[in-house]
Amino acid sequence: MRYCLVIAAVILWLLAGAGRAAAYPVKIIYEGDVPEEIRDNIDSRLPDEPDAESPLHARRQARRAENIVEGIFNAFGYYDPTIETAVVGDGEQARPELTVDPGAQFSVRRLEIRYDGEPPREADLEEARAAISLQPGMPAVAAEVIDQERQIGAALRELGYPYAQTTQRDVIGDRDAKTISVRYTVDAGSRVRFGRMIYPDDIRTQDRYLDRINPLEKGELYDPSDLALFNSRLAETRLFDSSLAKLTDEPVGMAEDGAEIRDVELLLNERKRNTLTLGAGFDTSEGFGVDAELLRRNLTRRGDLLVANARIAQREFGLNLVWRRPNELGFGKGLSIYAGASDEDTDAFNQQTGTLGVGVEVIEGPIFQYSYGAEARYIRQSGESDRRDFQVIALNGSARIDRADSLLDPRKGWRAEGQLKPTYSFSPDGPDVPYVRAVAQGRLYLPLSAEGRFVAAGRLRLGTLVGTTVRNVPGDDRFYSGGGGSVRGYAFQAIGPFDANNVPLGGRSLAEASIEGRARITDRIGAVAFLDAGNVSDAEYPAFDNLRVGLGAGVRYMTPAGPLRLDVAIPLNPSDRDEAFQIYISIGQAF
């Protein structure tokens, strides 16, 4: 196992070298001032070709390169470059050569908008004209000239003209003055106000639930962002295979200001009501585990979800029911009610738990969400030296910021999350105690190549439990470390304090860190090398001494559900209780 990291590093080095392309055989001689950006563009755009086999072959290569180089200069506003082609050498030694003088960069002399049909209102004309970012005197970069069409159309649509479009672009160049003049011909179309909402009559979802997520107001001026927001909200419900809110093809009336009134029509195709999902995992310390989830959509026709999750594993049996009512308290504010029962048999404890709780989930957007709620648990626990019962009432709050680019296989961005859980424990076998459990975690993903084929990932997790001793806290509220989700190379719960019988006691604080190098070898196969470290302590706050460190490597097979993960890891500073290595199989990246 000591060679696993070395092998992975060699693979990364070979892959990094494999992507380098051979130089194009044409030689380019620049005359005059050629910006570095244009030179880089030319270098990246010239295709790979073998060396010329004859002067004729070299001449053809030179002509192909001439067309590419001229197009790039035109794209950057150099519309009159001088390009001379030549062939240097004879026979098989012939090589193509280009001498390039870009000339002067053209600038914009005049921009004009002409309207076909009925022009917009006078105030709207001014706003549409002000939306143009390209002004006289600026460089006449081709992409900027073309992009003004998008800017004009977007400005008019935001002013209530949903059908605005540029129908023609006329460009007149002056080679002597090195300028161009542009005229855009625009069809603004009709100004529109929203009418009533037309719901389909063949769906199960109630109209009043759809009204709750509808941001459109009858009589308001058309705004594409409002319509886009409604469409995104419909997609986020996950109730529909396809969904579209759009203006009706024909107007239904005229507003007092002369704008057309068009209703909004919903085209919805509901998903199947039931979804069954199966999952499985394995590692050498926890054994096999199987999860089954049954999801029933639209139980009460108001966008709600009933989720039943069963887990059967070597160390755990459990059943959880969650009834989610999205948008129950307003858009993005959902209510969830949950109940569960489990039987866990770990090295640290044997525990039977019953849980009942309620929570509010607030989704501010794809980046930020938070939740808060309350729960009650009954716990029967044995495993240290006796059996204890706990009755627990807890409040909980959590927050999550997600700026990563993927849920299961992130390649860039970061995530941060935290949880705070004030708890009061009633125990007939011990004192009634309050305590607070807090956990924070951050994850970072750095792409090492433009294509995202090489990624460096890091994770830091800290936890603390304040207010009482470990003895007075139920087992599942204590901190443990070791295993596929924390420090690989060590068995589940193998890091931290132990009693005289080698039973894990858990701790009041946790510190974990991981770094991982990920390489995508093909579109389906990936390789990783990683280093994990962690510590569980009886101290109240995380301690960074006496860290247990694990080293390993793994492979990933990409599936539609995320990467299938196989990791093998060894403990670098094991205790007498630790095995020589651990194997982990699961779905999704380790973090």
Print the SS3 string covering 7-56. HHHHHHHHHHHHCCCCCCCCEEEECCCCCHHHHHHHHHHCCCCCCCCCHH
pLDDT of residue 310: 93
Instruction: Give the model's confidence band at 502: pLDDT under 50 very low, under 70 low, under 90 confident, else very high.
Output: confident
Confidence of residue 12 (pLDDT cuts 50, 70, 90): very low
Query: Which residues, 6+ apart, have CB-to-CB distance to 428 below 8 Å?
Result: 389
Distance of CA 325 to the CA centre of its chain: 25
Q: Cβ-count burial of 550 within 10 angstroms (0-12 exposed, 13-18 middle, 19+ buried)? A: buried
Q: In whole angstroms, what is the distance from residue 3 CA to residue 353 CA?
A: 44
Q: Which residues contact 177 (CB under 8 A, 6 or more apart)?
A: 109
166-169 long-range Cβ contacts below 8 angstroms, 24+ apart: 167/116, 169/145
- Tell me what pLDDT residue 414 has: 96
pTM over 0.85: no
Q: Region 442-460: what's the mean pLDDT?
A: 92
Hey, what CATH class is 192-270 in? alpha beta
As a CATH number, domain 274-587 is: 2.40.160.50
Give the per-residue pLDDT at 3.
Answer: 37
Residue 82 has pLDDT above 50, yes or no: yes
Which ranges constitute the DSSP H helices of 186-294? 207-212, 224-236
What confidence score (pLDDT) does residue 84 get? 92
Mean pLDDT, residues 207-236: 91
How crowded is residue 4: how many other Cβ atoms within 10 Å of its Cβ? 18
Taking residues 288-294, report their average pLDDT: 87
Find, among 269, 252, 255, 268, the residue nearest to 196 by Cα. Answer: 252
What kind of fold does domain 26-101 have according to CATH? Ubiquitin-like (UB roll) (3.10.20)
Paired residues of 419 in beta bridges: 398, 439
Domain 107-187 has CATH 3.40.50.10170: no
Residue limits of CATH 3.10.20.310 in the chain = 26-101, 107-187, 192-270
User: pLDDT tens for residues 229-277?
Assistant: 999 899 888 899 999 999 999 999 999 988 999 999 999 999 988 988 8
CA distances, 350 to each of 214, 378, 492 (Å): 49, 14, 14
Mean pLDDT, to the nearest integer, of 75-103?
A: 89
Specify the pLDDT at position 354: 94
Q: Report the alpha-carbon distance of residue 418 to residue 371 in Å, rounded.
A: 11
- Cα gap 20→577, rounded to integer Å: 48
Confidence of residue 386 (pLDDT cuts 50, 70, 90): low
- pLDDT for residue 13 is more than 50: no
Could you tell me which residues are beta bridge partners of residue 328?
330
Tokens at 168, concatenated = 């023609």
One DSSP character per residue, 136-180 reads: TTSB--HHHHHHHHHHHHHHHHHTT-TT-EEEEEEEEEETTTTEE
383 pLDDT tier (thresholds 50, 70, 90): low
Q: In whole angstroms, what is the distance from residue 108 CA to residue 275 CA? A: 58
**Is 16's pLDDT higher than 70?**
no
Helix/strand/coil for 303: coil
Residue 68: predicted pLDDT: 92
Look up residue 566 and give its DSSP letter: E
Q: What does the alpha-carbon distance between residue 13 and residue 521 come to, in Å, rounded to a whole number?
A: 11
- Pairwise CA distance, residues 103 & 100, whole Å: 9
Mean pLDDT of 408-422: 94
In whole angstroms, give the CA distance from residue 569 to residue 548. 13
Mean pLDDT of 165-194: 93
pLDDT of amino acid 128: 87
- What tokens were used for 400? 């999550």
Q: CA 52, 57, 61, 62 torsion: positive or negative?
A: positive
CA–CA distances in Å: residue 340 to residues 42, 80, 335, 353, 582: 63, 74, 17, 8, 31
For the chain, percent of residues with pLDDT exceeding 90: 55
Model confidence over 387-405: pLDDT tens digits? 788 899 999 999 999 999 8
Pairwise pLDDT comparison (310 vs 16), residue with the higher score? 310
CB atoms within 10 A of CB 131: 17
